[in-house]
Amino acid sequence: MNTHSPYFPSMLLFFITLLQVAAFEEGDRAALQAFKSMISHDPQGILNSWNDSRHFCEWEGITCALRGSLSPYIGNLSFLREINLENNTIQGEIPREFGRLLRLEALFLSNNSLAGKIPANLSYCSRLTVLALPYNKLVGRIPFEFVSLYKLKRLALHRNSLTGGIPPFLGNLSSLELLSLGANSFGGNIPDSLGQLKELEALGIGGNNLSGTIPHSIYNLSFVEIFSVPQNQLHGSLPTSLGLTFSNLKHFQIDQNFFSGSIPISLSNASKLEVFQIGKNNFSGKLSVNFGSMKNLSFLNLFSSNLGSGESDEMGFMNSLANCSKLRVLRLGGNQFRGALPHSIANLSNQLQILALGDNQLYGSIP
């Protein structure tokens, strides 16, 4: 038997259907019918499917969520290769019996109400390439046993209540392309071992009460497109070669930390940059980055970064922003920028929605 056999999908469908029958009340149907009764004109006939010939979860425009808990008997479906129960209202714990699913390659349980600890038994699912459990109520540590999940490419555990620090063994999962652990309560430092993840494309560890500095080895991960560490207690300066080593950088988010020093001029080479967010840090000096090559830059947030040198030409970086035709948000307020606004401000993107310049030392007329 394999996952493509006629028997397999019908078995799984039967399981899901049982959950649906238990989940929804007749009151929901009555409420939807009452809504339909008040609609006097439906030119596209969308409400034609809203009748008693089928379950209201199958009515056009209606999406139903599953409620209840996960049965340990799922562990008996030994040929399962993927479980996707995202965006429901599933409660309780993740059954340890999931560890019996030795052929499982992907587990998606995000955006539910799952609680308890992550079962260490999931480490038996050695074929896992995706483990996505974000937006739940999970607690405790990331199980050390996960060191055996050497095929894992995407590990997403953000928006839970996990503790115990970011485990150094994650650096041994050499196939990881995405590591998303933001908005938990890990605490501690960022392990230097994460610099071993040579395939990593996205790192998200913001909002975790992390302290210390970012290991230099992480800045050498050349495939990184998303680097997101905001809302921590990190400090230190950015390496001068940042824009060269992070040559594929698209999203750079380090706001609400304690970074200091100057903004590396090498960021001028980050031509793929789309989001640059460094607000609420302790930087200093002149902003000399040339943004002209960043054709996809849409969000630039330097708010309250302590930037400014007092040099007569320190607003010159604005000239290069005129080339950023997709720029939508430009926040420069709360710094120490001094001087007159360059005339190039009139040439900023016609997609610009937010321009914030307040609480600086700007003078003269508005071009």
Each residue's pLDDT tens digit, 151-190: 999 999 999 999 999 999 999 999 999 999 999 999 999 9
Q: Is residue 10 part of a domain?
A: no
The verdict on 76 and 217 lying in the same domain is: yes
**Residue 319 vs residues 341, 342, 366: alpha-carbon distances, Å:** 10, 7, 15
Per-residue confidence (pLDDT) for residue 126, from 0 to 100: 97
> Which stretch of DSSP H or E encloses residue 62?
none
The verdict on 167 and 130 lying in the same domain is: yes
The verdict on 76 and 223 lying in the same domain is: yes
- Output the pTM of the full model: 0.86
Per-residue confidence (pLDDT) for residue 135, from 0 to 100: 97
Dihedrals φ, ψ of 4, to 5°? -100, 5
Per-residue confidence (pLDDT) for residue 22, from 0 to 100: 36
358 HSE (CA, 13 A, CB side): 2
The verdict on 162 and 298 lying in the same domain is: no
**CA gap 228, 343 in Å, rounded:** 33
Per-residue confidence (pLDDT) for residue 24, from 0 to 100: 44
The verdict on 272 and 320 lying in the same domain is: yes
**CA gap 38, 45 in Å, rounded:** 15
Q: Is residue 41 part of a domain?
A: no
Per-residue confidence (pLDDT) for residue 26, from 0 to 100: 64
Instruction: Tell me which residue of 249, 165, 145, 255 sits closest to 208, measured CA to CA.
Output: 165
**How many domains does one find in the chain?**
2
Question: Is the Cβ–Cβ distance between 190 and 211 less than 8 Å?
Answer: no
Q: Is residue 305 part of a domain?
A: yes
The verdict on 345 and 219 lying in the same domain is: no
Per-residue confidence (pLDDT) for residue 9, from 0 to 100: 36
Q: Which residues of the chain have pLDDT under 70?
A: 1-26
Q: Is residue 33 part of a domain?
A: no
Q: Is residue 219 part of a domain?
A: yes
Domain CATH for 184: 3.80.10.10
Give the rounded distance of the alpha carbon of 226 from its chain centre: 9
**CA gap 210, 186 in Å, rounded:** 7
Per-residue confidence (pLDDT) for residue 43, from 0 to 100: 87
**CA gap 311, 285 in Å, rounded:** 9
The verdict on 73 and 197 lying in the same domain is: yes
Give the residue carrying structure tokens 């030119």. Answer: 43
- Domain span holding position 177: 65-228
**CA gap 324, 331 in Å, rounded:** 15
The verdict on 196 and 294 lying in the same domain is: no
Q: Could you say which of 202, 228, 254 is where a domain stops?
A: 228
Start-end of H helices in the chain: 7-23, 26-37, 242-245, 317-321
Per-residue confidence (pLDDT) for residue 282, from 0 to 100: 97
Q: Is residue 47 part of a domain?
A: no
Question: Is the Cβ–Cβ distance between 285 and 309 less than 8 Å?
Answer: yes
Q: Is residue 356 part of a domain?
A: yes
The verdict on 192 and 288 lying in the same domain is: no
